[in-house]
Structure 1
Amino acid sequence: MHLPAPLLAQEKLADIAAWPITDASRNDGQPVGYAFESVDFAPIPGYEGTPVNLLVVVDKLGNFVDVEVLEQHEPMFVFSGLGEGPLREFVKQYIGLNLAREILIASGSDSNQKLTIAGGGQRPVIDGISKATATVRIVHKSILSSALTVARTKLGLAGREPNRAPAIARSDLFERLDFAQLLQQGMVGHLLASSAEVDALFAGTEWADVGGDGQKGDDTPAVDLYFAYLNAPSIGRSLLGDEAYRELLTKLEVGQTALWIASAGSYSITDERFVPGGEPQRLALSQDGLPLEIHDLIFDMPTVPQAPHFEMARIFTVFSESGLDPGKPLDLSILITRAKGMVIPRIMEQPLHLKYVPPARLFSYPPSPSPAPEWLAAWRARTWDIGIISASLIALAVILSKPRMFAANPRRMQAVRITFLAFTLVFLGWYVQGQLSIVQITGAIKSLVAGRGLEIFLYDPISLMVIVFTLLTFFLWGRGAFCGWLCPFGALQEFVAMAARRLGLPQYQPPTKISVYFPYLRYGLLLLLCTVSLVAPRASEALVEVEPFKTAITVGFDRSWPFIAYALLLLIVGAFYFKFFCRVLCPLGAAMTLGGKLRRLDWVLRRRECGKPCQTCRARCDYDAIDRDGSIHYDHCFQCLDCVGVYHDTDRCAPLLLYKRKGKTIPLRILN
């Protein structure tokens, strides 16, 4: 842990897994913050099945001082993926933000963009990493969950309700009250400090005998401060009058708060630096320990009836984005400033605090919304993507459930298939990052063995939708729905094969007695990866690179040359041997084949002539999924629907051609 001087890390606490941070320039030895590892408080499994561990440092106000990546095994950031650089840049964006504020993650942003602030600096928005949205959400939740746990224990933030809806001033409630009644009922807050009390603030310092704040060392009022929340009609109309109150409401933006602040003592609420319409240098407003910016509203203040003579009275506003809750206590501070020296004066400031809590009856309190789970933000951020993918899955379900409608016409079928495969490659694969991977299986195994559950899948809505759809299709059609239609790398291989055939490249088809053993290689790789993920999780991170999906789809060939060379080699081999990787090496395809064993439908229709003697479909099948006897080997079928089209086409199906030309002989029996 590297902390800038004069900060020092002390011994780890016994009651909570955190290191107190002290300031060597202070003599009290009290912690000014805490450092901790996120895995001790929020061990949330990442995409690969193990938690991302981060070092988080927060100060006593809940501000992030530092965030560093200690350990991670996310596929996108290891083995020449994006590298750890983007992840380290991402977590650095938390520095300076306050954990009590809602921190939003921008979707689809480039990781090199700078921190942007919405709503005038009140709602932090940090840039995500477009190719690792699920990991980013997990890291975000790990940082906030661990920081809030420490904050509730050590920083006294347990009483905060960041998700509670702010109170709303009741417009239907009005009581005409004079100034004395407003004071008596707490609708106007009051702070009175004598000159002697102001002197006491500077007692024992070199500024004790310095003037300038109106002190006389007696009970003469030096600070006579008044404070009120004007949005509530009972307060606003009683202080300003009906006409001025209506004028005030026209000047306020939706959700903006108006505050009346006045002073009657010798120490004013403004100084010579104050500019109408600007921020008052002597005043500071906070709620729950968090500062709130206030700005002067240029407004003709009427005389408040039956009130004392005010030396200064002004209206200040708070932006709606600030999160101010008028139903909770407010802290208004007035800074008493004393300066010593003429050329380069030495300045000391001491605050006086006015605690203000308006009566609860002035407000209505909306029910507190239940905190939305972090994964829900990922779904909301990808509404359009989810809608498009949903429509495409519905379209695919129609194609596969009504294959004759599309496959009987070969041109129509070719157009439908090429269009859908292009969508799968470009949109599902490269754009929305929906390529499924064996990493999801090995990661699930690691997470379940560690007892952490499968929550990670909720953070990647696109992949989850494809997974759920694929699981459902296992029971209907087998493995072909995913492998033949929804795998982006499979689509890329198919386009390479189409181009190779257009170029007249020779196609290799191994003898059946050899190719029948190819699936065992896929099953062997699947078994190896699942076993290694259990007994040697770190080693599995390297072995999963047998898949070229990260190289070709996830990062779009933006990797080091060995990975690019491997992916290109597979595509080149696939140009001569149709879908070589899918049929020979793919461990994910092996898992899909096992899932396809759940199939309940024999959806490819057969005639008695199929295979005996007709071999048309078998000869046309690029996947070698039709046996010599005409039966369908569904474990090898990619559901391209070519044989379905042949079955219903009188110009391609040999039995139909025969029936068309010669008719069918129907034996008759003559009854006596």
Structure 2
Amino acid sequence: MLARLILLGSLLLSSALHAVPLKDEIQSLFPKATRIDDKLASPAVYPVYQLDELIGYAFESNDYSTLQGFSGKPIRLLIGMDPQGTLTGIHILEHHEPVFLHGLGEQSLFNFIDQYRNTNIGKPIIVGGRRSGGSDSVHQFDGVSKATVSVVILNETVMISAMEVARNLLEGFAQGPLAIARPELFEPLEWGQLLQRGYLQHWRLDDAQVEQALGHSLSHYSQLDDDPELPFSELWFAYLNAPSIGRNLLGEPAFGQVMEQLKDGEQALLIISRGRYRHVPDDFIPASAPSRVVLVQNGHPIELHDMDLGSDLLPDIPGLEAEQLTAHIFRIKPHAGYNPVGDTALQLNVTLQRNHLISSSTQFTQPFSLDETLFEIQAPPVAAKSVPMWLRMWQERWWQIVVVIAALALLSWIFINQHQFSRNSRRFHQLRAGFLIFTLVFLGLYAQGQLSVVNIFTLFLALWQDFDITVFLMDPVIFILWSFTFVSLFLWGRGLFCGWLCPFGALQEMLGWVAKKLRIKQWKVPDPLHQKLQWLKYLILIVLVPVSFYSLTLAERLAEVEPFKTSITLFFVRTWPFVLYAVGLLALGLFIHKFYCRYVCPLGAGLAILGKLRLFSWLKRIDACGQPCQHCKNHCEINAIHKNGKIDYDECIQCLECIVILNNDDQCVASISARKKAEKARKNDNLIASDWVPAK
């Protein structure tokens, strides 16, 4: 045992990921990059530049997706995407997918994510399945055999993250506004009428409001104009796409020029301000985005971009001189998804510098709503309701689900009617052999239905943190087997799973058949040693469960004490230390029946603990069992029957061999003895009858 732990520890250290600075990884996604800016707050991306040209964004998937992997932990990705929505590459930052860490190896995962390079997210990405016949409407990627769930989750993580970034930053990905300004609707209106109808918004902030928000006097800030006649900030703003607003404010020529410069789906916003703190600073760079003002809709900021149209197109405010005003027309890009009739507010960000070390900041918002009659309200396109990923997995594996449920129904029927099935010894053994072959070949090697102690880790962590049943629904075969096993623990104990549904257990039992055919001498473990060795699997479980809360990665590696991945999941296609370990356990099973199940299996230990809550003791015993009959005990290869005839349900694998013996008169010693006594009595009766002569 110690040697195995040392071996697994060395594998853990040798495969540990070395820390690579994140910006170095971003550089590898954008080889031409000369500058990588710091991470923005919203959206959470790293802008990447070649000189002054934006060439893309890098972002971490955990900022956009909390989708859990098959292990119960999210797959953390670093994703690169250019301004056209083409993925430049993906790096794995962290994952706990057992099939890659301890099975297929991570190279198969790296090969899979290489398919994303130079793929545009404007088309859906489908992993695996049938080819689409050359259709260019989707991207179809090759999956990874034996890791379907993991790569489907990874693909969902990529698409959720990339589309969220694209909708925020890239043109052509965001849904257009749900309200389109009616171009034919125009009514001449004066400045006062525009204000009265709310087409033009007026907002004034006085010094007292700002001082209250800051908590001290504005006299501390020398950067402000000290003219007492000026308000702190006075703004006028209006949505220009509606002709009744834009044409009346700008005039027909200027309005036409603005509309011509707007691209499809873009919208325009006019902002005029005066006062001690205007909507842009004096050193504002034309054609850039202002830092002081932003639209806010549905809790998300919508960035504005100066159209740099020049002062000739901007309107005057009656009663005020142009020199007193600052005015800009800002572009709202379509990817922002701005809806002009939705609940919106204009936000003014106030930052005042007391000196070169100390500054104060606050924010003010003004509701901004528009009359719906100015717009043609369009219903959003009805998108096909996406099918949850777990449901897709169930739909794709429907026939496997049917076969598994049918097999479990048959097994339940066998256990409920165990005495009827066991009356014919030969047919029962054929039935059991057939079911074990089904368990190994179909459940284990084909459907990948090998339960593991790692599943217990996942359940505990889910219950400890935020429980999400969809994590467990991702693999329908595993989910059905676990559900059936959990229920059966309260009816029959651990034995139903360990003796009938465990693929590795079935493989060991088949090796027992081979040992009998080859007449390999079995090593009988003395009862005192047997009783001590049984505790080893409980000790392993006690170590593994707490470790899983400390480090899931370490627990997964220590769980390699289970040979299931090597022998069943990967069918021995693995590095030699793992293969040698699994083969060694199986070879030992040729001499000691089901050695691993009896002494090492932590999963069996966990099931045995829950099995103590079983409601019934199904295995029939009679008075002669153990007193004096020891036939069942001697034939119990798992050594789960005590000398007094009592069955140890914590260790019993419910092979039902004792029930076969009990229900066959030619095997049960009590039945044989009773039959012999009956035959002897009958012979005695016949002898007495032949010796008796009637008196004359």
Into which bin does the TM-score normalised by the smaller protein fall? 0.5 to 0.7
Which sections of structure 1, spanning at least 5 residues, go unmatched? 110-115, 162-196, 202-287, 290-358, 666-672
> Aligned partners of 1:536, 1:360: CA distance in 2, in Å?
53
1:421 aligns with 2:436: yes
The answer to whether residue 488 in structure 2 is matched with residue 473 in structure 1 is: yes
1:437 maps to amino acid = S
SS of aligned partner of 1:93: helix
Q: Among residues 65, 68, 75, which one is paired with 1:52 in the alignment? A: 75
| Partner SS state of residue 33, structure 1 | strand
- Counterpart residue number, 2:281: none
1:99 aligns with 2:121: yes
Q: 1:57 to 1:638 in 2, by over 3 A?
A: same
Q: How much has 1:499 moved relative to structure 2?
A: 0.5
Asked whether the 8 Å contact 2:33–2:48 carries over to 1, the reply is: no
- CA distance in 1 between partners of 2:575 and 2:56 (Å): 41
User: Residue 423 of structure 1: CA displacement?
Assistant: 1.1
What do the CA deviations read for 1:254-311 (whole angstroms, capped 9, x no partner)?
xxxxxxxxxxxxxxxxxxxxxxxxxxxxxxxxxx99xxxxxxxxxxxxxxxxxxxxxx
Pairing 1:484-503 to 2, within 5 Å after superposition: 484-503=499-518
Aligned AA for 2:126? L
Relative to structure 1, the CA distance from residue 153 to residue 367 in structure 2 (aligned partners, 3 Å threshold; closer, same or farther) is: closer
Opposite residue 90 of structure 2, the aligned amino acid is: V
In structure 1, C-alpha distance between the alignment counterparts of 2:35 and 2:493, rounded to whole Å? 61
In structure 2, the partner of 1:642 is 657
Q: Which amino acid aligns with 1:613?
A: P
In the alignment, the residues of structure 2 paired with residue 482 and residue 10 of structure 1 have an alpha-carbon distance, to the nearest angstrom, of 56
Partner residue, 1:601: 616
Pairwise CA distance, 1:67? 1.9
Quote the residue 2:364 is aligned against: none
Superposed, 1:128-277 pairs within 5 Å as 128-155=143-170, 160=175
2:667 paired residue number: 652
Alignment partner of 1:86: what SS?
helix
Counterparts of 2:57 and 2:114, CA distance in 1: 17
Indicate which of 71, 83, 86 corresponds to 1:63: 86
Partner of 2:116, secondary structure, is: coil
- Native 8 Å contact 2:424 2:664 kept in 1: yes
The Cα of 1:625 is off from its aligned counterpart by 1.4
CA distance in 1, matches of 2:612, 2:113: 44
Q: Which residues of 2 match residues 509-528 of structure 1 at below 5 A?
A: 509-528=524-543
Alignment of 1:508 with 2:523, yes or no, is yes
Contact 1:45 1:447 in 2 (8 A): no
Equivalent-residue separation in structure 1 for 2:464 and 2:63 (angstroms): 19
| Map of 1:566 onto structure 2 | 581
Specify the code of the residue in structure 2 equivalent to 1:581.
Y
Match of 2:235 in 1: none
Q: Which of 17, 20, 39 is residue 44 of structure 2 equivalent to?
A: 17
Whether the 8 Å contact between 2:122 and 2:173 is mirrored in structure 1 is no
Aligned-pair identity in percent equals 39
Decide whether aligned partners of structure 1 residues 367 and 71 sit closer, same or farther in structure 2, where only a CA change above 3 A counts. Answer: closer
Bigger CA drift: 510-519 or 146-155? 146-155
Q: Secondary structure at the match of 1:607?
A: coil
Question: Shift of residue 471 of structure 1?
Answer: 0.7
In structure 2, the partner of 1:90 is 112
Pairing of 1:303-314 with structure 2 (within 5 A): none
Contact 1:529 1:540 in 2 (8 A): yes
Map Cα deviations across residues 408-434 of structure 1 (whole Å, 9 max, x no partner). 211111111111111111111111111
What secondary structure does 2:590 align onto?
helix
TM-score in terms of structure 1 length: 0.64
Cα shift at 1:366: 10
Give the distance between the partners of 2:605 and 2:33, measured in 1 at CA: 58
Q: Does 1:75 align with 2:115?
A: no
Counterpart of 1:86 in structure 2: which amino acid?
Answer: S
Across the aligned residues of Structure 1 and Structure 2, the Cα RMSD in angstroms comes to 2.9
Partner Cα separation in structure 2 for residue 452 and residue 52 of structure 1:
17
After superposition, give the CA deviation of every residue in 1:30-75 in whole Å (9 maximum; x if it has no partner): x453211112222333233332211112233433332222222221
Counterpart for residue 173 of structure 1: none
2:8 is matched with which residue?
none
CA distance in 2, matches of 1:529, 1:376: 32
Q: Could you say if the C-alpha distance between residues 56 and 650 of structure 1 is closer, same or farther in structure 2, counting changes exceeding 3 Å?
A: same
1:624 is matched with which residue: 635, 639, 642?
639
Q: Secondary structure at the match of 1:390?
A: helix
Given that 1:118 and 1:124 are in contact with CA atoms closer than 8 Å, whether structure 2 keeps it comes out as no
Q: Of the candidates 38, 49, 57, which is equivalent to residue 34 of structure 1?
A: 57
1:394 corresponds in structure 2 to 409
Rate the CA distance shift 1:69–1:366 in 2: closer, same or farther, 3 A.
closer
User: TM-score, normalising length from structure 2?
Assistant: 0.62
In structure 2, give the amino acid aligned to 1:649: N
Q: Give me the whole-angstrom Cα distance separating, in 2, the residues matched to 1:151 and 1:566.
A: 48
**Deviation (angstroms), 1:102:** 3.2
Q: What's the CA shift for 1:615?
A: 1.5
**Distance (whole Å) between structure 1 residues aligned to residue 34 and residue 489 of structure 2:** 59
Distance 1:105 1:400 in 2: 41
- Distance in 1 between residues matched to 2:403 and 2:116, nearest whole Å: 33
- Inter-CA distance 118–17: structure 2 relative to 1 (3 Å threshold): farther
Q: Which amino acid aligns with 2:97?
A: E
Name which of structure 1's ranges 35-44 and 117-126 shifts more when overlaid on structure 2: 117-126
**Pairing 1:529–2:529 present:** no
- Letter paired with 2:392: A
Amino acid at match of 2:101: V
- Which residue does 1:553 correspond to in 2? 568
Task: Letter of the 1:78 partner, please give it.
Answer: L
Runs of 4+ in 1 over 6 A off after TM superposition: 364-367
**Please, which moves more after superposition, 641-650 or 41-50?**
41-50
Whole-Å separation in 2 of the counterparts to 1:446 and 1:366: 40
C-alpha separation in 1, matches of 2:572 and 2:455: 21
- Asked whether the 8 Å contact 2:166–2:174 carries over to 1, the reply is no
Distance 1:468-1:43 versus aligned 2 partners, 3 A rule: same
Give, in whole Å, the separation in 2 of the partners of 1:561 and 1:649: 47
Q: Relative to structure 2, which stretch is displaced further, 57-66 or 587-596?
A: 57-66
Q: Which amino acid aligns with 2:42?
A: D
Equivalent position SS for 1:491: helix
Whole-angstrom CA distance in 2 between matches of 1:485 and 1:635: 16
CA contact (8 A) 2:499 2:505 kept: yes
1:387 Cα shift?
1.9
Residues 351-390 of structure 1 aligned to structure 2 (within 5 Å): 369-390=384-405
Residue identity in the other structure for 2:553: R
**Quick check: 1:614 aligned with 2:629?**
yes
Q: Is the 8 A contact 1:481 1:638 kept in 2?
A: yes
